[in-house]
């Protein structure tokens, strides 16, 4: 539900070859539907026509206002042009757009009025808005603006969780990418940036558990590389307090339903992953699919 196939190096840029390799890595790990909330380039049309690749739901290019992203890595737009750009990306992709709602902790988050205007305009054309947020103000503004999903949600004020549940804002915490860097951060020399990051991380697992208990839809995404490691996110969601079945659903049937695709029902897409034992009883088997069936064909 949160991965960025197609590029591994900001300097190298987007590559069709890298995109195909990343998507095959996801597929072989049992991921048959990929949501990429933001990319260095729009996902090309040939991906949907390739029977070997997972289905992809894209949010087009990252939308970044000045100072709030890696320069030139997404679509750089002014705050005044953001609403129009968001509508354009949503129409050009699968109805989604992705807005960088904040960046460094010492920088102002995207203003609430601007983000609200984006959400209203994209909703008016039938689209949905994902918001990158990792500061307290950025996460708060994403919720208050009525965003469809919080990507990361670091420093989220727990008092906003009930509002998220009421308005249907999903939470994609990408715990695995943060968890992988936690020990390295702790080993750094004390600094304001280090302490800010660690404070945000320490609140994430309790917030995920509280959000799940409140009825917020929790979804599994890995963010960074290597691709094909969603099972690590399932493990982190279990550590956060979700049941194994709920964590598996966050990476499977719940995610698929949220993106508008049916699961294992008559007339649904013939996508299926099989395991030698029940993953709700033994989640470790998620790393070893015994059969991957995509569009009715055995592909792995």
The answer to the question of residue 8 being in a domain is no
Using DSSP's 3-state secondary structure scheme, residue 34 falls into: strand
pLDDT digits 0-9 by tens, 222-255: 998 899 999 999 999 999 999 999 999 999 999 9
pLDDT score for 9: 80
Give the closest residue to 143 by CA, choosing from 156, 127, 155.
156
Number of domains present in the structure of the chain: 1
Domain, as residue range, for 132: 16-298
In a domain, 106, yes or no: yes
Find the CATH number of the domain harbouring 99.
3.20.20.140
Grouping H, G, I as helix, E, B as strand and the rest as coil, residue 63 is strand
Tell whether the model's pLDDT for residue 289 goes beyond 80.
Answer: yes
**Is position 158 within any domain?**
yes
Residue 3 domain flag:
no
pTM reported for the whole predicted model: 0.96
Q: Region 179-188: what's the mean pLDDT?
A: 94
- C-alpha to C-alpha distance for 199 and 154, rounded to whole angstroms: 9
Is the pLDDT at 12 greater than 80, yes or no? no
pLDDT in tens, 83-131: 999 999 999 999 999 999 999 999 999 999 999 999 999 999 999 999 9
Chain segment 62-94, per-residue pLDDT in tens: 999 999 999 999 999 999 999 999 999 999 999
* Tens digit of each residue's pLDDT (9 = 90 or more) over 198-231: 999 999 999 999 999 999 999 999 998 899 999 9
Does the residue 135 lie in any domain? yes
Nearest CA among 35, 78, 83 for reference residue 60: 35
């Amino acid at each position: 539900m949160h991965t960025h196939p197609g590029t591994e190096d900001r300097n190298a840029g987007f590559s069709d070859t890298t995109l195909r390799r990343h998507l095959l890595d996801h597929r072989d790990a049992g991921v048959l539907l990929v949501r990429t909330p933001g990319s260095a380039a729009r996902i090309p049309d040939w991906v949907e026509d390739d029977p070997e690749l997972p289905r992809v739901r894209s949010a087009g290019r990252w939308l970044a206002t000045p100072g709030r992203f890696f320069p030139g890595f997404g679509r750089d737009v002014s705050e005044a042009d953001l609403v129009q750009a968001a509508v354009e990306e949503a129409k050009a992709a699968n109805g989604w757009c992705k807005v960088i709602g904040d960046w460094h902790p010492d920088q102002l988050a995207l203003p609430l009025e601007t983000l609200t205007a984006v959400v209203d305009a994209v909703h008016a054309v039938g689209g949905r808005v994902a918001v990158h947020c990792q500061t307290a103000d950025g996460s708060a503004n994403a919720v208050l603006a009525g965003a469809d999903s919080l990507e990361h949600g670091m420093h989220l004020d727990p008092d906003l969780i009930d509002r998220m549940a009421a308005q249907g804002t999903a939470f994609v915490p990408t715990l695995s990418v943060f968890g992988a860097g936690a020990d390295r951060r702790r080993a750094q020399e004390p600094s304001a940036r280090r302490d800010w990051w660690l404070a945000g991380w320490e609140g994430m697992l309790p917030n995920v558990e509280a959000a799940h208990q409140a009825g917020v839809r929790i979804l599994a995404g890995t963010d960074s590389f290597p691709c094909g490691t969603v099972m690590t996110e399932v493990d982190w969601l279990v550590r956060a307090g979700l049941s194994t079945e709920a964590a598996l659903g966050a990476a499977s049937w719940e995610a698929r339903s949220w993106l508008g695709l049916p699961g294992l029902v008559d007339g649904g897409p013939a996508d299926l992953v099989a395991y030698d034992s029940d993953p709700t009883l033994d989640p470790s088997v998620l790393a070893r699919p015994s059969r991957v069936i995509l569009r009715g064909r055995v592909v792995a």
